[in-house]
């Protein structure tokens, strides 16, 4: 085995060990990385999905697939669900 190959393998091992071990070295800091942050991201994704649903329903009404009455009922329900997500997001902000 030539020296260059050995050096390359050693370098690869170092890089891999550095990548994998860094969270373990920063143990406390990683633990502190907030659970709230993860929850917020999940809620924001849920909020975006709900907004998309509201826009979809609106488009269905505009293109004639939903009657005015059906759309109103659906829109009311979707908006209520969106409000609930926003309320949970606000609660999360209040905890900080």
**For binding to another protein (CB under 8 A), which residues are involved?**
1, 5, 8-9, 12-13, 15-16, 19-24, 26-27, 30-31, 33, 35, 37-38, 41-42, 44-46, 48-49, 52-53, 55-57, 59-60, 62-67, 70, 74
Quick check: 26 and 43 in contact, CB under 8 A? Answer: no
The minimum distance between CB 68 and another protein, in angstroms, equals 11
Distances (CA, A) of 83 to 11, 12, 94: 53, 50, 16
The candidate with the shortest Cα–Cα distance to 81, out of 54, 41, 42, is: 54
CB of 39 to another protein, least distance (A): 8
Q: What angle do CA 22, 26, 30 make, to 5 degrees?
A: 105
Q: Which is nearer to another protein, 24 or 80 (CB)?
A: 24
Helix axes of 35-62 and 68-95: crossing angle, nearest 10 degrees: 170
Query: Between residues 62 and 83, which has the closer beta carbon with respect to another protein?
Result: 62
Nearer of residues 8 and 83 to another protein, judged by Cβ: 8
């Amino acid at each position: 085995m030539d020296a260059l190959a050995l050096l390359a393998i050693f370098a690869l091992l170092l890089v891999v060990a550095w990548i994998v071990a860094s969270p373990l070295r920063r143990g406390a800091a990683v633990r502190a990385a907030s659970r709230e942050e993860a929850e917020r991201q999940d809620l924001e994704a849920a909020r975006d999905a709900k907004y998309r649903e509201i826009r979809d329903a609106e488009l269905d009404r505009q293109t004639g697939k939903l009657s005015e009455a059906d759309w109103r009922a659906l829109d009311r329900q979707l908006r209520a669900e969106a409000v609930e997500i926003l309320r949970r997001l606000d609660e999360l902000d209040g905890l900080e």
